A and B are shown apart, each in its own frame.
Chain A
Amino acid sequence: MNKLFRKAFELSPALLLMLAGAVTAMGQSAKLQLDQLDVLANRASETVDVKLDEHLMQTTAKFFSGKDSDDAEIRDLIKNVKGIYVKSFSFEKENEYSSAEIESVMSQLRGGGWSKIIGVTSKKDGDNVEVYLLNIGDQISGLAVVSAEPKEFTVVNVIGPIDLEKLSKIEGSFGVPYLNLPPAKPKIGK
């Protein structure tokens, strides 16, 4: 018994490391790698890059007053959010960004727990907006919005649980652009 206990004790740092790795991996999967898009800044007429990390969100969330109903809603919405990341590129002409650049984001959203909940394609305008949610267990752990328009490319990545119905509350705040998303279709048979 003692031997077993000693063996377990010897292995515990390795187990802890493995556990930490698994937790980190879960956290990282909700956060998309977007730095590869930075080269678009040279071609874009305007670039907006917003990074609000967990520490900043949690430190400031408590200062949203409960007296103001809008502030209270924002506070409730963001209190568990671990980060908001936005990259948006506007171009003067069409086709200034390539499908490879879109693919560098979309490839991260295939599998790995991400599921598309909204997809809007306009053949007339060439707009394409897709919304993905990352579910770990029963909980939403991340949200990604990819908006590819002829002269604009925007990616919004929210880390942590977020109520999609209330997402519109932070549009225009925290660097999140107005997305004008249609309501998500309810899942049938659940």
Chain B
Amino acid sequence: MILVIALALAAPLSVRADRDGFDDAVKVIEQFYHVKHQNIPLLARAGMKAVKTAAKIRGGDYKKLAEAGSMRVAFFEDQKFDSHGQIASFKSAMQTTLAADWSALVQTLAPKTEEQTYVYIRDAGKDFHVLIITIEKTEGTVVQATVAPQILAELLKSPDEMGKALTDEATTSDP
């Protein structure tokens, strides 16, 4: 009996833990664009690309941005992203889905090339959770990471570069 109650209590908690914006963002992309994501394991990601981030982070070259082990990544590869002139509707759908828990920080859209970057932020104790959605004509990425406030302060100097910096880190380095 105790076990049944314990399981009943634990189930909603685990469901809630999954609903952290990352899955919601992936679902919005899949439903709007009719595409399917892949979760690429960490080992497969290592060495996928050798592109160093070009983020305008003062103080020089590449530096670690996300807290170790905090990154989650979903890829959409070789798929067709076409909003049929309704890119603002996608932005609105994403905003509606995430608005309750996340604050939109930066959103850049280029309908012709379908290029979009969305950066959302929320408190995570002493740190911040950052959710980045990037979409191009044939690929997309959703990244969630935990970032220390010092790093966030640096990134805020160039918020439009922030999404690229974190996405590059998620897809090119050992988190």
Contact surface of A with B, Cβ cutoff 8 Å = 38-39, 41-53, 55-56, 59-61, 63-64, 68, 74, 92, 173-175
Contacts and interface: CB of A to CB of B under 8 A. Distances in A.
Contacts of B159: 50, 52, 174-175
Given A41-B87, A60-B153, A173 B105 contact: no
B103 A48 contact: no
Query: What 8 A-B pairs come out closest when comparing CB atoms?
Result: A63-B153, A60-B153, A49-B107, A41-B88, A47-B109, A173-B157, A63-B150, A175-B159
A98 B71 CA distance: 43
Interface string B80-110: 0000011110011000000000011111111
Secondary structure at the B interface, as helix, strand, loop or mixed, is: mixed
A46 B108 contact: yes
A38 to B, nearest CB: 6
A49 to B, nearest CB: 4
Interface in B57-88: 58, 85-88
Interface residues of B, number: 29
B158 interface: yes
Contact of A44 (B104, B105, B109): B109
17 contacts: A38-B88, A38-B92, A41-B91, A43-B111, A44-B111, A49-B107, A50-B105, A51-B106, A52-B156, A55-B123, A56-B103, A56-B105, A56-B156, A60-B152, A63-B149, A63-B153, A74-B157
A41 B106 contact: no
B52 interface: no
A46 B160 contact: no
Nearest to B116: A47
B106 A50 contact: yes
A42 B85 CA distance: 6
B121 interface: yes
Given A56-B103, A56-B121, A59-B149, A50 B160 contact: yes
Q: Is the interface of A mostly helix, strand, loop or mixed?
A: mixed
B139 to A, nearest CB: 19
B8 to A, nearest CB: 36
A51 B160 contact: no
Contacts of B91: 38, 41
B25 to A, nearest CB: 17
Nearest to B155: A60
Given A175-B159, A175-B160, A51 B105 contact: yes
Interface in B109-139: 109-112, 121, 123
Given A45-B110, A47-B109, A64 B153 contact: yes
B88 A60 contact: no
A48 B117 CA distance: 9
Given A41-B109, A42-B87, A42-B111, A48 B156 contact: no
